[in-house]
Amino acid sequence: MLCQYRDILNMADECGRGDALWFDENGVPRFCDFHPTRLADIYARTAILCRVACQSCGKTFMMAQSKGQLERVNGAWMEAKPFPTDPDLIAFGDPPCWGCSGATMSSDTVKIVQRWAYGKGYKWERVGL
């Protein structure tokens, strides 16, 4: 279950910001346009922004996920594989905690909205879906 970040959401309401535009991989609400430089993982080398749905109520959220250059597989570090192109093969785990019992369940990936790669010239490049 992800943190609710009620302090951030309350401040956003007080400022008239409305709902978060997306959530990072830790479930932190973000109120700016998505870009991989705004992810929690500064070592990320690939990133996706997806629409996910709460398994309990069906509410959808935009959530980001990233990978570094390496990932741990069966206890060993290996070169990270790119994210699958099929949304059904991408697991986000818990949806953002917003007040539904579904925050303790998993989420379903509905659609991949954006794909990014850290490319040549050490810059983020948007790649095709």
**pLDDT over 70 (residue 20):** yes
1: three-class secondary structure by DSSP: coil
pTM of the predicted model as reported, rounded to 2 decimal places: 0.85
Most confident by average pLDDT, 5-14, 82-91, 107-116: 107-116
pLDDT at 39: 94
pLDDT attached to residue 21? 95
Please report the pLDDT score of residue 101 as a whole number.
67
**Cα–Cα distance, 58 to 63 (Å, whole number):** 15
Q: What is the pLDDT of residue 18?
A: 84
Please write the tens of the pLDDT for every residue from 90-127: 888 888 887 776 666 788 999 999 999 998 888 999 99
Long-range contacts of the stretch 106-109 (C-beta < 8 A, 24+): 106/55, 107/52, 107/53, 107/54, 107/55, 107/61, 107/63, 108/52, 108/53, 108/55, 109/50, 109/51, 109/52
Label residue 112 left, alpha or beta by phi (over 0 means left) and psi (-120 to 50 means alpha): beta
* DSSP one-letter string for 44-82: -SEEEEEEEEETTT--EEEEEEEE-SEEEETTEEEEPPP
User: Can you say how many angstroms the Cα of residue 100 is from the centroid of all Cα atoms in its chain?
Assistant: 19
Instruction: Give residue 5's pLDDT.
Output: 84
The residues spanned by each domain of the chain are 6-42+50-66+81-113
The string of pLDDT tens digits covering residues 28-77 is: 999 999 999 999 998 899 999 999 998 888 999 999 999 988 877 888 88
3-state secondary structure of 122: helix
